Structure 1
Amino acid sequence: MANLHHERPSVGKLRSLLRTERLDTDKYGNFVQPSTGRRVTLHGINFASSSKLPYAPYQTTYMRPKKCGFYSEADTVSFVNRPFPLDEAYEHLTRIKMCGYNTIRFVFTWEAIEHEGPEIYDLDYVHYVVELLKIIDEVGGLYVFLDPHQDVWSKFCGGSGAPIWTLCAAGLNPLNFEVTGACKLHNLCKEPQNFTRMVWSTNCSRLAAATMFTMFFSGKMFTPKAIIDNQNIQDYLQDHFINAVAFLVSSIKNEAPELFQSSFLGVESLNEPSKGYYGIEDLSQLPKDQPLCLDETPRAIQSMRMGMGRRQVLEVYQLTMFGPRKKGSLAVDPKGEKAWLTDDSMDKRYGFDRDENWKLGECIFAQHGVWDSHSGELLKPDYFHRDPIMGRELDEDMFINTQFLSFWAKFRSRMRKIDRDMFLIIQAPVLQIPPRLKDSDLVDDRTAIAIHYYDGMSLIFRSWNRKMNVDTLGIMRGRYLNPIFGIVFGEKNIRESMKRQLLEMKRECKENAGDSVPVIISETGMPFDMDDKKAYSDGDYSSQEAANDAMAYALDGSNLNFSYWCYNPENNHKWGDNWNLEDFSIFSKNNVFHNSIDYTVQSSADSLADGKVCKYSEWITTASSVSSSAKSPTLGPSSRKGDDTVELEVMLGSDPSLLSTIVEGIRAPMAIIRPYPVLINGVVVNSELNLSTGEYNLRIDTSKRSIVSSESPTVVFVPDIHFQEGNFQVFVTEGTTSFKYNSFVQLLEWYHETDIGVIELRIKSLSKRFEGQECSTSRKLFRLLSCGLIH
């Protein structure tokens, strides 16, 4: 057993523990703290999914278009205060820090920056982002990378991302998307509460999104007649997107250059890019690689015909464990309505100079001889399967290593002009083998690669099946003669299967991008509305806890940097994340049973002159004074206070109800809040938390070091929800440990020799964990107390 020293750090020491500095990388693909040479594990959260939709007028995907200005105010929306107003930032950031996260994947959309029209940037929103990033840096201990987020191209196609004028530039008419089957929208569903979850995946292959992605990545190849402002639509769209992102990054650099030396890590390329129609072998058939078919699912030619107002009978699908299965058919009749603009009113509105050979009111693919829009006849079923110039066959691998890489090269070149040292993070299509970047001029020592991973069965069926799952990646990679051989039985084997899939994806990244390129799982997570939302009525979160623990086991065991999906300050039990019935947020306001945080934050804001946003210490001090006036029990012995009582009270607040309120709302906290190595003198071999036994094991290889000084300890986050101060033991095979503890920071420093091979640390809780579930407010409070979250 290690000689465990306990220390309550002063505010100055606390600040030094939370310091961020611009990161480097090593030859093993780890992020490295330059001043000490210690490896840094990015343990992050997507912040926040509420940023997909405008704040003013306030919108969610279930709100009726006419009531929220969905179409009528598309050009004048504002994303200022997304994900939340600045005076609420400290509450949310404190909660995230207390969960142990040290990284934020900052979600924003193209629409947020350039919604009014081409090259018209929302300066208020950009300034808001800069101010929020400053607050994140002030709080400390949080790295940030930007995520230009999109799902299904745009909210007008059933997702989020691009502004409405991009669709008009492509000649499309968003007002007619629903009636022509170009997409399915939650806000037009007759019963929004019964909207088909995950239908956005099918929307990707429908006319609206498929057309936009085809044009964005391959317009010069497939739509050479689509010339606008003397550019092919491909260059037009890419240039505007890249310039919008560059405007935001440049603004951050100009207004807060110090962030580039501390918390600002870099920017991702584009969330979940799609190839559109590229590579489809036969437009009259469903593509073999189309992962999900839900509800009525048009084939490509059917989408094109409906887009020109023609009636089509579509196959209807439902999902089973082994993929989509046909269950019937449904006729869709647009009755002559078109998904294409029929006049030049939008051209005049946005100032488009459209080439005279690009006819409005006519399907762009019909204009290129793919089909006859008058007879409906398909003329070139393999149009997107062969390069029209070279004649070579086209597939996903070809797309990733040509069209996608061309976009990446352009994106990379533009961002490098802004800053040579920020990390540029490339994200290829989801679950596909990454592009072959190794030894090319498209990768450098400031490049990282992002991948996404979700457990397919949990995602689709919204339940945690302890008995059976499938090896999704193995099936996609063709490892099984029949998908039935990809079945995994038993919870232990399911957990190991998820871990193997992540390790395989990590290997693919290293093999294609190089060993020195860091890998980030920039999205992964578990739905919380499992078992038909049973937990929301009876408080039994055992399914959610087991599912999230399994995912975390895979992430910890594969030693991957990650950012969990997601944090949403507006999550609620009825509508989840307010986006297409998704419910992934680790936090929900319906899980907060105190009201003190509401008036605490408001009181902080009201106390400031001229509406200025308070500093972190001001917020925490004001919050403390307000919360101390509320009636709440005094919890924990007064002897817990150290010599720096006054400083800690200023920093953290003297009343435990404030801290309990901040942490409240975290769902399945035992699985979400977990120990992990923050700074490592060596390379992590394995990291594993056992929820049932209350043990944490960490093994590191000290021989794989990077200019490591033995004076800088390995640092492990040790949350008191698992290991309460004075009620756990630490065992190490080498060195000594010191526990830096207060209710905001729980860090274990491990001082050990370097270059001595593999060494191990083990932490064992001495507490008997409360085994009941969160069935009521009082039981939830008791659980927080018994787990040490409230002192």
Structure 2
Amino acid sequence: MLLFMLSGRFGFEPLEDVFANYGLSIYVTRLVKVGRRIRSTYYVDTGSGWTGPEATKAALCVETCGLEVAKYPKMIWPTNYFKMACATMFSLFWGGSKCAPSCRVNGIPVQEYLQSRYLDAMAELAEALKGLTNIVGFGTMNEPSSGYLGLEDLSKHFHHGELKYDLAPTPFEGMALADGYQQVVQRWSNGANQHVLGRPDKLVTVDPNGVRAWQQGRRCIWREEGIWDVDSTTGKPVLLRPDHFAGIMFGRDCYVPFAARFAERIRSILPHTLLFIELPPLEFSIDEFPEIDDTLIPRAVNATHWYDGVTLFLRAWRPYFTVDPRTKRPAFGYTAVRRTHMKQLAGIKGYGSEQMNNAPTLIGETGIPYNMHGGKAFRSGDFSAQVGALDNTISCLEASLVSFTLWCYTSDNCNGYGDQWNLEDLSLISMHKPIRSGAQLSVPERDSCARAVQAFARPYAARIAGTPLKSEFILDRVEFVSDPTKSNEAAMHPTEVFVLQLLPQRLLSRDVRWTILRPVALWLGHSELSA
């Protein structure tokens, strides 16, 4: 409660991430209830240490992979979307009634069991938040996955958007490994072999030595459904129904019905709540964004996430290169990179305007990695790459006229371990204060933990008299331009623009009447302004 109360004062958005975290007992309980064996899913414990990372290859986690934390591969955690642990749980949560009808928990169909418990938990939260004026909406689930749902052939990799770093078993191979059977698995690197040639680096024999991801005495759910079995002659796993999950449209058949149910439950407690719609990350989507009728889910907001994927996954700022995550086409040159990013954002806005009957768009998550280029900035104090990357991200968002929330603010961020989660390091602040040379922006002591502060401490129109047509902050010139629609009615009201104290105390304007209301804000009373 304290977190939510403080978030209203300071403008933070609390958010829970990932499907299953050992610290989240609600999720671990769900894993156990469907027969998952938590420890052996990740490693073999002989009492004398780890004999090998993730014996069953059902997941790859920094806490249990057997590597030193500093050697955990960068941005490899999303590969878990495509491994047996996450794929199974998401499949059961979203489509268990369709793909695992015989799976029940305490006599309840598994999909109903998982979804009803999830809704119960969120309803408890909603009850606790009654009376807080800063709660504007609820999100259905952060970055969900469709699991196996919609896959045409379980003997092949998921789809073109699959993140194949290191060992990448196919769905069937993952099921067999999780049941303790040896498999030959492809190993991929994050380089030309994958992104240009489309081929793995090599084949690796993985032998779990009989260790299973399932509790003793519990059969694999998918084996129970007749998807695969073991050949009585050879003793090897065989795939019987490669198209078991085919024909399921995740958005239409699974997400929309759940989102409608979610909205109804939350609004029975908080009637005026907005619903933030969020489907799988664009890079990993298997089907198109669904039609969401505003009569089915009124007051819905398109909250799709957006990142400059190349910068995020490579942890490097390349202002003259990017790749479109959906088409896989590269873009070269500053103008082409900017055009690619703007096209991506236009597509996201289209989800709200076209598939959601002109619903507003809020980019639910965006940001940059601060530990790029091997953490060079932490040693040199030169954060120019981070400033350039973040300015590019925010400038594209501003030019697209979309609202957004920056990810993230982590109070215990440090240079060694980032945000304390899978070595991600996207926090705007850090306990390790950035080294600053005399030539850099002068920052007050209270803001000394901020990183690349000049890129995000930028002016913006908080309240606009009219409809915005243009919003732009040119960092190099410290110039802000806003151009709302002109009308007699709009001219009667001021536009509120925040200009932070970090910026030079000067106002360059043309035909603008302005008044400083408080140290961080200006009121401007004209339909076109430049500050």
Q: 1:728 aligns with which of 507, 510, 528?
A: 507
8 A Cα contact 1:145 1:264, kept in partner? no
- Secondary structure in structure 2 of the residue aligned to 1:221: helix
Shift of 1:593: 7.6
In the alignment, structure 1 residue 380 sits paired with structure 2 residue 241: yes
> What are the within-5 Å matches in structure 2 for residues 189-204 of structure 1?
189-204=66-81
**What's the counterpart of residue 435 of structure 1?**
290
- Secondary structure in structure 2 of the residue aligned to 1:584: coil
Q: 1:361 aligns with which of 213, 218, 221?
A: 218
**What's the counterpart of residue 750 of structure 1?**
524
**What's the counterpart of residue 282 of structure 1?**
153
Q: 1:508 aligns with which of 351, 355, 369?
A: 351
**Alpha-carbon displacement from aligned partner over 1:378-421 (angstroms, at most 9, x marks no partner):** 11111111xxxxxxx33xxx210111112112111111111221
**What's the counterpart of residue 382 of structure 2?**
540
**What's the counterpart of residue 699 of structure 1?**
483
- Secondary structure in structure 2 of the residue aligned to 1:494: helix
8 A Cα contact 1:209 1:276, kept in partner? yes
**What's the counterpart of residue 47 of structure 2?**
none
Shift of 1:288: 2.2
Shift of 1:201: 1.6
Counterpart residue type for residue 718 of structure 1:
V
Change (3 A) 1:462 1:549: same
**What's the counterpart of residue 184 of structure 1?**
60
Counterpart residue type for residue 572 of structure 1:
C
8 A Cα contact 2:466 2:490, kept in partner? no
Shift of 1:692: 1.5
**What's the counterpart of residue 399 of structure 2?**
557
Tell me, in whole angstroms, the C-alpha distance in 1 between the residues paired with 2:163 and 2:473.
34
Shift of 1:489: 1.9
- Secondary structure in structure 1 of the residue aligned to 2:167: strand
Tell me, in whole angstroms, the C-alpha distance in 1 between the residues paired with 2:324 and 2:403.
22
Shift of 1:329: 2.4
Change (3 A) 1:592 1:320: closer
8 A Cα contact 2:378 2:435, kept in partner? no
Shift of 1:522: 0.6
8 A Cα contact 1:428 1:435, kept in partner? no
Q: 2:211 aligns with which of 337, 340, 347?
A: 337
Shift of 1:462: 0.7
Shift of 1:135: 3.7
- Secondary structure in structure 2 of the residue aligned to 1:329: strand
**What's the counterpart of residue 332 of structure 2?**
489
CA RMSD for the aligned pairs?
A: 2.3
Bigger Rg over Cα: 1
Tell me, in whole angstroms, the C-alpha distance in 2 between the residues paired with 1:170 and 1:199.
26
In the alignment, structure 1 residue 320 sits paired with structure 2 residue 184: no
Tell me, in whole angstroms, the C-alpha distance in 1 between the residues paired with 2:241 and 2:109.
22
8 A Cα contact 2:434 2:451, kept in partner? no
Counterpart residue type for residue 760 of structure 1:
E
8 A Cα contact 1:146 1:268, kept in partner? no
Counterpart residue type for residue 237 of structure 2:
G
**What's the counterpart of residue 174 of structure 1?**
38
**What's the counterpart of residue 422 of structure 1?**
273
In the alignment, structure 1 residue 150 sits paired with structure 2 residue 17: yes
**What's the counterpart of residue 367 of structure 2?**
525
In the alignment, structure 1 residue 718 sits paired with structure 2 residue 495: no
- Secondary structure in structure 1 of the residue aligned to 2:239: coil
Tell me, in whole angstroms, the C-alpha distance in 2 between the residues paired with 1:308 and 1:529.
38
Change (3 A) 1:687 1:191: same
**What's the counterpart of residue 516 of structure 2?**
739
**What's the counterpart of residue 568 of structure 1?**
410
Counterpart residue type for residue 674 of structure 1:
R
Tell me, in whole angstroms, the C-alpha distance in 2 between the residues paired with 1:191 and 1:570.
20
8 A Cα contact 1:548 1:672, kept in partner? yes
Shift of 1:375: 3.6
Tell me, in whole angstroms, the C-alpha distance in 1 between the residues paired with 2:24 and 2:457.
29
Shift of 1:471: 2.6
**Alpha-carbon displacement from aligned partner over 1:237-291 (angstroms, at most 9, x marks no partner):** 00001110110111111xxx1x2xx322121110011111111111111122343
- Secondary structure in structure 2 of the residue aligned to 1:414: helix
> What are the within-5 Å matches in structure 2 for residues 556-705 of structure 1?
556-591=398-433, 660-703=444-487
- Secondary structure in structure 2 of the residue aligned to 1:204: helix
In the alignment, structure 1 residue 400 sits paired with structure 2 residue 251: yes
Shift of 1:711: 5.2
Shift of 1:328: 1.5
Tell me, in whole angstroms, the C-alpha distance in 2 between the residues paired with 1:761 and 1:309.
66
8 A Cα contact 1:150 1:160, kept in partner? no
Structure 2: gaps spanning 5 or more residues = 43-54, 437-441
**Alpha-carbon displacement from aligned partner over 1:140-181 (angstroms, at most 9, x marks no partner):** 7x4x6664x332x2125xx98952111011111011112211
**What's the counterpart of residue 311 of structure 1?**
182
Change (3 A) 1:135 1:505: closer
Shift of 1:505: 1.1
- Secondary structure in structure 2 of the residue aligned to 1:293: coil
8 A Cα contact 2:381 2:434, kept in partner? no
Counterpart residue type for residue 517 of structure 2:
K
Q: Tell me the TM-score normalised to structure 1 length.
A: 0.61
Change (3 A) 1:171 1:406: same
Tell me, in whole angstroms, the C-alpha distance in 1 between the residues paired with 2:491 and 2:481.
21
Shift of 1:459: 1.2
Tell me, in whole angstroms, the C-alpha distance in 2 between the residues paired with 1:465 and 1:502.
19
In the alignment, structure 1 residue 292 sits paired with structure 2 residue 163: yes
**What's the counterpart of residue 353 of structure 1?**
none
**What's the counterpart of residue 311 of structure 2?**
458
Shift of 1:699: 0.9
Shift of 1:371: 0.5
Shift of 1:709: 6.6
Counterpart residue type for residue 721 of structure 1:
L
Q: Percent identity of the aligned residues?
A: 30
Tell me, in whole angstroms, the C-alpha distance in 2 between the residues paired with 1:696 and 1:226.
58
Counterpart residue type for residue 265 of structure 1:
V
Tell me, in whole angstroms, the C-alpha distance in 1 between the residues paired with 2:494 and 2:474.
24
Counterpart residue type for residue 363 of structure 1:
C
Shift of 1:722: 2.4
Greater relative contact order structure (CA < 8 Å, 6+ sep): 1
Tell me, in whole angstroms, the C-alpha distance in 2 between the residues paired with 1:270 and 1:337.
32
**Alpha-carbon displacement from aligned partner over 1:477-510 (angstroms, at most 9, x marks no partner):** xxxxxx4xx3222223322321221122102221
- Secondary structure in structure 1 of the residue aligned to 2:251: helix
Q: Tell me the TM-score normalised to structure 2 length.
A: 0.89
Tell me, in whole angstroms, the C-alpha distance in 1 between the residues paired with 2:325 and 2:67.
33
**What's the counterpart of residue 342 of structure 2?**
499
Tell me, in whole angstroms, the C-alpha distance in 1 between the residues paired with 2:492 and 2:418.
47
**Number of residue pairs the alignment of both structures matches:** 502
Tell me, in whole angstroms, the C-alpha distance in 1 between the residues paired with 2:82 and 2:453.
37
8 A Cα contact 1:145 1:265, kept in partner? no
Counterpart residue type for residue 573 of structure 1:
N
8 A Cα contact 1:249 1:418, kept in partner? yes
8 A Cα contact 2:157 2:171, kept in partner? yes
Shift of 1:686: 1.2
- Secondary structure in structure 2 of the residue aligned to 1:662: helix
Tell me, in whole angstroms, the C-alpha distance in 2 between the residues paired with 1:588 and 1:331.
42
Tell me, in whole angstroms, the C-alpha distance in 2 between the residues paired with 1:592 and 1:545.
13
Change (3 A) 1:500 1:286: same
8 A Cα contact 1:568 1:577, kept in partner? yes
8 A Cα contact 1:586 1:667, kept in partner? yes
- Secondary structure in structure 2 of the residue aligned to 1:282: coil
Counterpart residue type for residue 233 of structure 1:
V
